[in-house]
Chains A and B, each alone.
Chain A
C-alpha cells in the first residue's frame, strides 16, 4: 500500500474489491482508480489499436485509459471509467481488450505492426475485395480493436426519468459553482446545483489550498450544509448534466445507485430533464498533457491528477522511496511537486520547458529541459531528459505531466457556439453560449481559487438580475490564486511515437501523416485519424492535437480552428435514456371497452396502432387460428356476430355550418344528408389522393357524427381541426373527438335484427322504419342512452350500436346472453378482415396513400358541384388518367394462397416494371368462396373480368395464376344488407 497521510478517505471503513481475479483493499471515499494506485496496480488496460499497456492517466471523467468492465453477470458494464467508479465492498472489475492475460496480451503483436496501422489505415488497407469486408475484415478488426463486451443479458435494473424546473441551474460544484449556488440560494431563487462527482468541491478537494486559513473542505462542508437547509435549493451530486437543449432545457443523468453493490429497491439511474430559466456553467477545466516519445506508459499521468490522488485520496503514485518526476510548461506543474513533497513523496526533478523557469521550493529544477523518452514496458521505470543538448536517463517510478488547462467549454458550444482562442490563457474560451447560460470560473479561464469564487458569484448575480431577483454579493472566503503562468509548448519533437489521443491510439506521427495526405482541416484531421472520437471524446487530447497541426502547417491555433462539441458530455447509457420505458412499458396501450370480456373469452390480441384488439376467439378443439376465423366468418354470414369496433375514430361535429364544413372536408356531398341517415364518405389529401374513408351520420340539423379508420383517427381529427381553425375559421362549427367516449359494437349477420330487437326499448327496427343507412338516438336495455347505425362492413344485414364507453363491456355480455339461441358469435379483427375482403370494401391496404377514388371505382363520389380538400388536384391529368381499378382475384388453384404484395402480370408476359399490371393489396382464405381470394389494383381492371393473370412474388421465386373477378365476392347486388 502506498498511502499517504490525510486525504478524504474513511480509514475506519475498509472495503474489499477484486480486480482481474485478485483481491485488494481500499477505503470508503476511494474510487476504483485511487484504490488500484494505492495497491500498486499500475497496468489496468490495453490500448484500443496497438494493445499498448496502459495505466490510470487522470482522476476524473476525462479518463482515456482506465476503462474496465465493472460487475459480473447481467450487471457487467463494459467501458466503465475506474476514475469515476466509487469503491464499494465486494466490487469486481476486469480489464478489457486483450487476449490472454492483461500482462501477456497476445494482440500486443499489433504494436509491432504499427507502421501498417497508421492514420486512415482501414480506408487504405481493407478496400478489396469488397466481399471480404463483412466476413473477414470487419469481424477481425472488431475483435482486435476494441473495448469491453456486453453481457448480452437483459439489464436487471430499473431506471426512471423525471422533470425539474428552476430559476438557476448551476452546473459544476467547484469553487465557482458553490459560490454561484450560495449567492442564488440566499437570494431566494429556485436553484439546482449538479455535479458529476460524489461530493461537491471540485478541485477544492484536490488541492492543498486553504480558505479563510482552514482546509478548503471545511468551507465546502459549511456551504453544502447551508444549501441543504434551503428549501429553494436542490443539491444533486453524482449528476452529470450532459447536454444543453433548446430554451433552457438540460439533460442530466443522476447515478442514483451506481455506488452501491446493487440498486436494491432504488432505481439505478435517473434521467432528468431540467428546465432552467438561467444557467451558470461552472464546469471547470481539464488538464492537457505534452506528447513526447513513449509517453503512454503506466505511471505517467496528468500532474493535476497526481495532486488529486495525493491530496484527496492520500495515494502516492509510487511505493515509498521511489521517485517521481514532473514535466511541465508552466507554474502549475510545480504545485504538484510541492504537494507531493509536503506529503513525503520523493521528487526527482521538476523538468520545465521554460529556460527561465521559476523555483517555488526545495527540489531539483531542470529549466529549458524536456522529456524525450521513457522505458518500462508495463510500468514506467525511467525517463530520458534533454537539457542543453545533453540527454540523461533518470530512474523514476512515475511522471506527472502538466501542459496547461483546457476550459470545459463543452456545454457552452452545444448550440454551435464556437469557442475562441485566448492567447493569454493559451486556451479556447466559451463564445456565444446557449441563451440564458453564463459560463464562470475555470471554464472561462478563471481557474485560480479566489477568482473562481468571485466569478461564480458574479455570474449568479448577472443571471438573476435578468430574472428580477436582487441577488446580493455574499462574503467570499479569503483565498489565493496560484500562479498559472505558462509558456506555449505543445509537444516534444522526436522520431518515436508520441501519443496525443491515448484512447484511440493517435500519435503526433499520425497527425503529421494526415497533414501529408492533405487532411488538414480540423474536421478532416479528426475523421482521418479518429482523433477525439473515442468514448472520452478527446477531452485530454483535442486541443493538443490542434496545436500540433498548427505547428506543422505553420498556422496559428485560431487559424487552424477547432471542432465543436455535441451532447452528451460523457457517455449516457441507452437504458437510462429509455427511462424505464422498455418491454411492456415501451408505449402506452389502449384497451377497448370489451377488453376484459374478450380476455375472459380466450381471445388472442393484436396490436392495431396503440390499440389492443381481439384478433380471434379460439374455441375448444380448435388447433389453428384459421379454424377459429373461418368459424367466426361463417357465423356472421349464417347467424349473427359481434365485434368491438370502438377503435374507429369518432368525431362529433356540431354547429349551424356543420353541413357546409363537412362538404369541404369530404369529397362527396354531406350537407344534403337527411337527418337520421348515414352516408359513406371519402376524404382526400389536398394533393388529390385518398386519405381516409368512413361514415357520416346526421343526428340533427346541426349535429353529425363522423367516423374514421382506426389507423387514421388522430390524423383525420388533426386535419379537420386544421380545416376549421386555419382555413375556415368563420364557419360556425365545433369538433370534438369522442373515440374514447363511446363503445361501439358491430352486430352483423342475418339474425342481427332479431337480436337487437331483444334489447331496444320499443324501437321499431323494421326495414321500413329503420332502413339501410339509417341512424338514430334511442335507449336500450331499459333506459341506457345509445346510438344505432344501420351500416355494414361485412355485406350482411348489420348494425353498429354505440353506448357510453363504461357500458361497453356490459352491452357485449348482454348481447351474447340475449343471442345465445340465435348462435351469436364474437369475432375478431381477422374475421372482420375476411368479411370486408369478401365484400370488396377498401381498408388500409387499399388506402395506402398512393391510391385515388377512381382506382376504387368511386371516382364519381368526388363531387364536381363544390370545392373540397383535394378536389382540384384529384383532377390532375396524371391522376385522372390512371386506369388501374380495384378488382377481386381468385386463386385458380383454390387451396393455394395468393401473397399480398405480389405483382400482377399478363399471363405469359415477361415480368418487368414496364409490363407490370398492378398488385395484390389484401388476401385471405374465404370460407364463403371456399378458396383463397384477394383484392388488388389492375390496369383497366374493370374491363378484364375473367382474365387469368400471373401473380408474381419474385422474392420467393413464386408465381400463381389468378382470375380477375368483381371485388364483391359476396352478394354483388347488395340485397342482403338492404333486406
Chain B
C-alpha cells in the first residue's frame, strides 16, 4: 500500500506502524469515569468500508497520520497530520 503523507507525498506502507481506529484520539476527560474509559479502551468499530485510522510514520518523520481508508478495497481517500486533525476536531 502507498500512503499519501501530507508533508512527504506517497510513502510505502512498510514505513508505517499501524495502530487502528482514529477514535483513539477522543480520549475521555478524567471526570467521564471508568465506564467511558472502558468504552474508549476496549470498544472499536470495525467497519467494512470507509474507516479513519491511525498510522505512525515510524521509519520516517514520526508523524502520526489520520488516514481515511476503505477497508474493503484498500483505497485511501485521504491522509492528514493527526495533530491538525486533533486541533480541528477538538
Contacts and interface: CB of A to CB of B under 8 A. Distances in A.
Interface of A: 245-249, 275, 415, 435, 686-687, 714, 718, 721-722, 725-727, 729-730, 867, 871-873, 875-876
Contacts of A725: 63-64, 81-83, 86
Given A718-B17, A871-B30, A872-B37, A726 B82 contact: yes
B41 interface: yes
A247 B27 CA distance: 32
Contacts of B82: 725-726, 729
B9 interface: no
A726 B1 contact: no
B60 interface: no
A872 B1 contact: no
Given A721-B56, A722-B56, A729-B82, 11 more contacts: A247-B1, A247-B74, A247-B76, A435-B75, A721-B62, A722-B19, A726-B24, A727-B25, A727-B86, A867-B30, A875-B34
A435 B40 CA distance: 35
B34 A873 contact: yes
A486 B88 CA distance: 64
Interface in B33-87: 33-34, 37-38, 40-42, 54, 56, 58, 62-64, 73-76, 81-83, 86-87
A303 to B, nearest CB: 40
A687 B83 CA distance: 23
B58 A726 contact: no
B64 A872 contact: no
In order of increasing CB-CB distance, the 4 nearest A-B pairs are A867-B30, A729-B83, A247-B2, A246-B1
A571 B1 CA distance: 23
Contacts of B81: 725
Majority SS at the chain B contact face = mixed
Given A247-B1, A726-B86, A687 B41 contact: yes
B83 A726 contact: yes
6 contacts: A686-B27, A687-B41, A714-B58, A718-B17, A727-B86, A876-B34
A621 to B, nearest CB: 47
Contacts of A246: 1-2, 13, 74
A687 B37 CA distance: 8
A722 to B, nearest CB: 6
B56 to A, nearest CB: 6
Contacts, number: 67
A275 B24 contact: no
Contacts of B17: 718
- Give the size range of B's interface with the partner: 20 to 34
Contacts of A415: 73
A722 B64 CA distance: 7
A721 B82 CA distance: 11
A872 B33 contact: yes
B87 A873 contact: no
Contacts of A718: 17, 56, 58
A296 B46 CA distance: 50
Contacts of B87: 729-730
Contacts of A248: 2
A579 to B, nearest CB: 13
A727 B27 CA distance: 7
Nearest to B64: A725
A497 B27 CA distance: 67
A338 B30 CA distance: 85
B22 to A, nearest CB: 8
A275 B14 CA distance: 14
Contacts of A714: 58
A275 B75 CA distance: 15
A248 B12 CA distance: 12
A729 B86 contact: yes
Contacts of B24: 722, 726
Nearest to B69: A246
A435 B30 CA distance: 45
Contacts of B56: 718, 721-722
Contacts of A871: 30
Contacts of A275: 2
A243 to B, nearest CB: 14
B34 A872 contact: yes
Contacts of A876: 34
A872 B75 CA distance: 37
Contacts of A247: 1-2, 74, 76
Contacts of A726: 24-25, 54, 64, 82-83, 86
A871 B82 CA distance: 24
Contacts of B13: 246
B2 A686 contact: no
Of the listed residues A415, A871, A872, the one surrounded by the most CB atoms of chain B closer than 10 A to its CB is A872
A292 B6 CA distance: 61
A667 to B, nearest CB: 13
Contacts of B41: 686-687, 873
A718 B64 CA distance: 9
Nearest to B85: A726
A435 B75 CA distance: 9
A721 B64 contact: yes
B68 to A, nearest CB: 14
A876 B35 CA distance: 10
A871 B31 CA distance: 12
A91 to B, nearest CB: 39
Nearest to B66: A726
A83 B76 CA distance: 41
B3 to A, nearest CB: 9
A718 B62 CA distance: 8
A249 B2 contact: yes
Contacts of A727: 25, 27, 86
Contacts of B34: 872-873, 875-876
Contacts of A686: 27, 37, 40-41
B33 to A, nearest CB: 7
Contacts of A245: 1
A196 B41 CA distance: 50
A719 B2 CA distance: 23
A629 B52 CA distance: 52
A518 to B, nearest CB: 30
B60 to A, nearest CB: 12
Contacts of B33: 872
Nearest to B31: A867
B49 to A, nearest CB: 15
Contacts of B75: 435
B55 to A, nearest CB: 11
A214 to B, nearest CB: 44
Nearest to A724: B83
Nearest to B14: A273
A714 B75 CA distance: 29
Contacts of A872: 30, 33-34, 37
A870 to B, nearest CB: 9
A103 to B, nearest CB: 52
Contacts of A729: 82-83, 86-87
